[in-house]
Each structure stands twice: as structure tokens, then as C-alpha cells.
Amino acid sequence: MEIRSSLDRANATAPRSWGRGGDSCSWERVNCSGSGSSRRVSHLHLSSLYDISTVSSTHGGQLFWRFNTTVFSAFSELQFMDLSRNYPSSLGSNGLVGLNLTKLQYLNLSGNWLQESILAPLGELVSLQVLDLNSNGMGGVLPVAVFKNLRNMRELNLSDNQFNGSLPKSLLVLPHLKILDLSQSELVGGIPISSSSEQALLEVLNLNNNHMSGAFPTEQAFQYLRNIRELHLSSNQFSGKLSAFLFSLPHIERVSNNQLGGSVFGGVNNLSVGFALHLGSNKFEGTLPRHLSGRLAILSLYDNKLSGELDPSFWNLSSLGVLNLSGNRINGSIHPKICNLTSIEYLDLSDNDFNGPIPRCSSTSLSSLNLSGNSLSGDISHGLFSTPNLLRLDMRHNKLTGNLRWLLEALDNIKVLSLGWNEFEGQITPNLCKLCPRIIDFAHNKLSGSLPPCVGRTYCDRNVVETDSNFFLLFEVIVESYIMFYDTRGFTFGTKGNQYTYGYNFFDSMSGIDLSGNMLSGEMPWELGNLSHIKSLNLSNNFFSGQIPASFANMSEIESLDLSHNELTGSIPSQLTRLWMLEVFSVAYNNLSGCIPNSGQFGSFTMDSYQGNSNLHNMSKAGGCSSHGSGAGDMPPEGSDRIEDDPVLYAVSAASFVLAFLATVVSMVCHPVGRHVIPKSWCCG
């Protein structure tokens, strides 16, 4: 009950059942071992008891859950204790000193922002097998002496702290340690090399996101780590070549984002890595070897210097679920054997030099396909591939031709459809309206004709989208984890005059249509106003005519609206001033007329948004606008004041004009040249 009292004092959340009845073994978050009168508390699940928001408002931001840890000394049979995510709790001045928890096997103190002083008493917990201290912000050199006493330790998680210095070898060779996570810290130096005969049982070593450097360890240096199944060394500064033996690890190897170079597989053809090989963002060069074999699920080689053509045998890696070769210099055609990748779910060949046609394949597993930034060509008018579960398709910046009708027929579940910067032609057919994409990018093609009104229905009801908005519902776990943590490129979409890259959670951040740079004509359908959740609409650089639909005011979440470089007429609908989220707006270079709205967000737009419309005028302070003087085709510089907007300046200017006129008349009359025209009495009295 002391724990409950301390929680009550801190306005934290204690389980309701605590204090009901005398048997604590029946309380929530408490488990006991034994039977009858010998039952003792063995498990305490006290994670996330502390309500930060409540304490922040009632204690003036002093976020501390203070309690005396000696309360735990009564639990002599305690084996499991989880105190995680009670940030930022205080475990008292004595920490865990003298608690006599000699049977404790599992201790989780993660997410509590603890001090390094908590570490020393942990050496007394001699039965400890699992210790989780991640996300505490602890720093300094790793306390090797503490961990040497924990000889039963099997899992040690010290990630997301600020430990510095080098990695001690004694930590790697704890007699029972199998999992060690020191990722997201400040460690430097290399991986310790063993010259003795001692062997580590370590199976998983995670050193991602540190500052470790030096040559990558050789096979001999890894002799004492022969049991390694997973090796995570990404986002460090390791250099040199990879050791061939690493490709025989049975599970996962992650060494992306380092300075590794040379031949990518070191002459190895048989990739016996059983799950994933992450080698992206390094300096590997040359061609991929022929006749690769293995049962890889993930092969990631993005952003290297690979070149040459892919041997047809490369596509025999039929077990691949994820293949990322983007950002290299690979050239040649894509061989039809790519259709052998029957398990592929994520395929990214973007930003290379592939050319020629795209093979026609059928795949029920493919969910994400990125072929952008190549020199692919060919007519896709009669279909390209059958991929009913495709969610993301990016073929921007190629030389593809044909019309889009049959391609759209095969994309039932598409969410991102990026086909910009190609040579597609013909009309946008109504079958687009059967889809529910969040991104449509057809920019800079040769599309013509009118825009089907049903495009205003392409965005499904928001509730439906959110139900299916987890981009990975159709993905297997392999692809889901890859995109979430390793798909650094995301997808690119132009909005607000810039190109932005969005990650896996884009459903919460972006939805848009870009049809700019085509030859579309006719009136803009008023039905587009039904796209109430769209954030970006770009119809610029086309031949749209008629008026701007007032229904566009219903696009309540729009942030960027570009209608520039068309043939629009009429006025800017005043209803558009209701678009309070609008950040970028342009109707430049049309044939618009009337007043420029100045309320709402329209008060923040510069004259660049309206230039090229000679009959479009600023609204005066009196609420009207003048049809005389300069229009938006010849606007004064930003910051200058127009005379007709200020009555005082107008009056002064008018008076000056009258006086100047009279002075001119008098001068002409009194001048000798003028006396023969005007009676002398007018000037000479």
C-alpha cells in the first residue's frame, strides 16, 4: 500500500483494485507464486502508472514520482519487476541499494530518465537475467565492474542513452549474455578484438547509431563471436571491406550508412544469410556478381556506387520480399526474369540508368513499386502488369508513352499514383474515378481534353481511408518493418512550390493531386470542391478556361492551391477566403478581373500570386476596387501604397494637380507668346 500512497501523493494512477481485500495477489498488475499461505508476490507490472499530464498541471510542471524504494525489500520472492515509462520518476536517494532482491530475474527501468547512480546497486542483483535501461539519458563510460557481477545476464538493453568511450570486450563475453543492445549512444572506437581462446555466447549485437569507426573487423577478429546471428552496425563510420564470413550469418546483417567500400559481396555468390542484408548508403562499387544464390528475404543496397548491367541470373533470388537497388548507376534493360520474383512485395529500382521497356508481369504480392528516375521507355497503352494489391506506384521521370486507361484498370487498391514527367498522352478517363488514391501525380505529360467531373469523387470518405490508412495492412511483417524503419527515401510529391519527401505515415500528412504541365482544357469541374480533405491541388500550366468554381471553398483542409498559367476568366470567388489553412495560392497569368480578396489567408499572399492578370485590382480600404490604373499585370512593388487607397493622399494630389494647372495657364497668358491669344486683362489686371 506504500506504493499506492506514493502514487496518490503524486496524482498518478493507481489500479482500482489495490486496497480491496487483504489478498494482494488478487490485485491488478500483481502476480504471486506458491500456494495457500505460502503465496508470495513474484511479479510486479508497474509500467506507465504515472500520468504526466495530470502531474504537470497540478504540480506546476514538477514531474517527479517520489517513493521510497525500500518498500520492495518486503518482496523477497520477487522475480519480475517492470517500472518502465513512469517518466521522469525518482527512485529515491538510495536507489536500489540494500533491497536484497536476490531472486529478481527481470528488471525493466526503461523510459524513466534515471541517473547513472542507479547503476552501481544493480551489481547486487546477482540472479538478474534481463535488464532493460533504454531511454534514460544516462551518460559516462560503461560501468564494466557492475556488469561483471551479473554473470547470469542473458539480455542487456542500454540503448538510447549517452554512454561514451569505447566498447569493453568484457561486456561482450559475459558468460550467459545472448542479446546486447547499445544502439543510439555515443560510443567510439571499433569492435574489440580478442586474442584469447574465450568464446562469447552472444547471438544479437546491436551497435546502430553510434560514432564507432575504423576498419571493419576481419574474420579472425570475430573468432570469439562465432555465435552471432544478428549484427546491427548501421549509422556508424566503419570503413574498409566486408569480411566474407559475414554473409554466412544465419539471420540479419545491418551495416548501412557507413563508409564501407569495395566489391559488395567480396566475391561471395552464395548468400546464406537467412533473412536480411542491409548494405545501403555506403561506397560499394562495381557490378553485382553473377549467379547469386540464397534465400534472402530482404536485400537493400540503396545509395551506393554499383554500376553495370544486372545479370539475368540475379532475378533467380525468388525468395526476396524486399529489393532496394535505388540510387546507384546500374544500367541496361530490366530483364523479363524479374517476373521470377514471385514473393516480392517491395521493389525499388529508382534513380539508376535502366532503359528499355518494363516487363509485363503478374504479381499478387507486390505492394510497392518505384521505377522513377530512369530512362525507361515504351508504350503502356495495352497494360503493363497485373498487380491487384499494389498500394504505391512511382514511375516519374522516365520516357514512358501511351494512354493511361489500361494501366488504371489494374490498380484497384492504389494509394500513391505518381506518373509525372513522362510522355503519356490522351485523356484522363473516368476509370480513374473508381480508385481511392491519396496521391495523384500526372504532372508534365501530354494529357489533353477535359477533366472528368467524377475526379471530385476519387478521394473516398475520410473514415474509410483512415480505416485502411495504415499503409501496411496488406503488407507482410517483413515489408512493414522495412518501410517503417529503413525506407529512408519515402515518396516525393510537389506542393507549395517545392518537392517534399514523405515517409510511411504519409496518410496523416499528405493528400494531393498534381496535373500541372499538361494540355488539359475546358472548365474546372465544380465537383473538385468535394475533395474536402485534399491538402494540395495543382492545375497550373494547362489550358483551363471559364471561372474558378466557388465550390473550391469546400476544400477545407487545402494548404496549396495553384491555378496559375491557364485561361481562367471572371473574378476570384470571395468564398475562398474561408480556406483558413491555405498557405500557398496562385492564379498568376490568367485573364481574371475584379477585386483581389484581402481577408482571411488572402491577406498574407504577395502580388506574385496574381501577376499577369491586367484586369485584377487590389481592394481598397473602403471595400471596393478601382478599375483604373495598374492591374495585377503591372503591380507596384511590394510595400508601396497606392494613392487611391488613401483619401488624404488623393485630396493632396488632386489639389496639387489643380494648382499646377492654374499656374500653367497663368504662365501661358502672361508669357509674350501667349498674349495674342488671351486678353491682357486676365494676367495684367
Q: What is the pLDDT of residue 373?
A: 97
Region 22-48: mean pLDDT is: 81
The answer to whether the CB of 275 falls within 8 A of the CB of 253 is no
Instruction: Output the nine-digit C-alpha cell for 347.
Output: 521493389
pLDDT digits (tens, 9 = 90+) for 282-334: 999 999 988 888 888 889 999 999 999 999 999 999 889 999 999 999 999 99
Its sign, for the CA torsion 89, 93, 97, 100, is negative
- State the first-to-last Cα distance of the chain, in angstroms, to the nearest integer: 113
Q: How distant, in Å, are the alpha carbons of 191, 395, 467 from that of 211?
A: 12, 37, 41
Report DSSP letters for 229-256, one per residue.
-EEE--SSEEEE---GGGGG-SSEEE--
Q: What pLDDT, on a 0 to 100 scale, did the predictor assign at position 602?
A: 93
Question: In b/e form, how buried is each residue of 577-599, taking b as 16+ CB within 10 angstroms?
Answer: bebeebebbbbbbbebbbbbbbe
Q: How far apart are CA 516 and CA 562, in angstroms?
A: 9
Mean pLDDT within 108-127:
86
Question: Is residue 458 very low, low, confident or very high in pLDDT (cuts 50, 70, 90)?
Answer: low
pLDDT at 334: 96
Q: How far is it, in rounded angstroms, from Cα 436 to Cα 417?
A: 10
Least confident of 210-219, 226-235, 267-276, 459-468: 459-468
* Integer Cα distance of 385 and 463 in angstroms: 30
Mind listing the pLDDT tens digit for each residue in 644-660? 444 443 443 444 444 44
pLDDT at 631: 57
Least-confidence region, from 6-10, 544-548, 620-624: 6-10
pLDDT at 666 over 90: no
d(CA 235, CA 488): 13
- Cell readout for 111 is 523510459
* Confidence check: pLDDT of 465 > 50: no
How many Cα atoms sit within 13 Å of 478 on the Cβ side? 26
Contacts of 40 (CB under 8 A, 6+ apart): 32, 33, 34, 75, 76, 77
Q: Residue 22, Cβ neighbours under 10 Å: how many?
A: 6
d(CA 94, CA 102): 17
Average pLDDT, the chain: 81
Which of 373, 506, 393 is CA-nearest to residue 441?
A: 393
Helices within 468-523 (DSSP H only) = 477-486
Cα atoms in the Cβ-side hemisphere of radius 13 Å centred on 424 = 31
- Beta-bridged to residue 586, according to DSSP, are 562
Q: Which three cell numbers stand for residue 100?
A: 536484497
What's the mean pLDDT in 537-543?
97
- 307 and 331 Cβ atoms separated by less than 8 Å: yes
Lowest mean pLDDT among 143-147, 326-330, 350-354: 143-147
> What is the percentage of the chain residues whose pLDDT exceeds 90?
47
**Contact by Cβ (8 Å): 279, 257:** no
316 by Cβ neighbours in 10 Å (0-12 / 13-18 / 19+) ranks as middle
Q: Which of 457-471, 584-598, 615-629 has the lowest mean pLDDT?
A: 457-471
pLDDT value at residue 260: 95
pLDDT grade, residue 21 (50/70/90)?
low
User: What is the reported pLDDT for 335?
Assistant: 95
CA 262 vs CA 151, 233, 239, 270, 326: distances in Å: 40, 18, 10, 18, 18
| Closest alpha carbon to 489 in 506, 510, 476, 514 | 506
Percentage of residues in the chain having pLDDT higher than 70: 75
- Per this entry, what is the length of the chain? 685
Write down the pLDDT at residue 681.
31
Residue 200 has pLDDT above 50, yes or no: yes
pLDDT tens track for 153-184? 999 999 999 999 999 988 988 999 999 999 99
Residue 449: per-residue pLDDT? 97
Q: How confident is the model at residue 86 (pLDDT cuts 50, 70, 90)?
A: confident
- What pLDDT sits at residue 677? 33
pLDDT (0 to 100) of residue 656: 45
105-119, 408-422, 542-556: least confidently modelled range: 105-119
Q: Is 640's pLDDT higher than 70?
A: no
pLDDT computed for residue 106 by the predictor: 97
Q: Distance (Å, rounded) from C-alpha 255 to C-alpha 238?
A: 9
* Secondary structure of residue 283 in the 3-state scheme: strand
Residue 240 φ/ψ region, left for φ over 0, alpha for ψ in the -120 to 50 degree band, beta for the rest: left
| Choice between 320 and 467, residue whose per-residue pLDDT is larger | 320
Per-residue confidence (pLDDT) for residue 11, from 0 to 100: 52
Between 657 and 185, where is the model more confident?
Answer: 185
Confidence band, pLDDT 50/70/90 cuts, at residue 219: confident
pTM, entire model: 0.83
The 10s digit of each residue's pLDDT in 73-85 is 778 889 999 988 8
pLDDT over 70 (residue 661):
no
Residue 386, judged by CB atoms within 10 A of its CB (0-12, 13-18, 19+), counts as middle
CA 393 to CA 400: how far, in whole Å?
Answer: 14
pLDDT at 74: 78
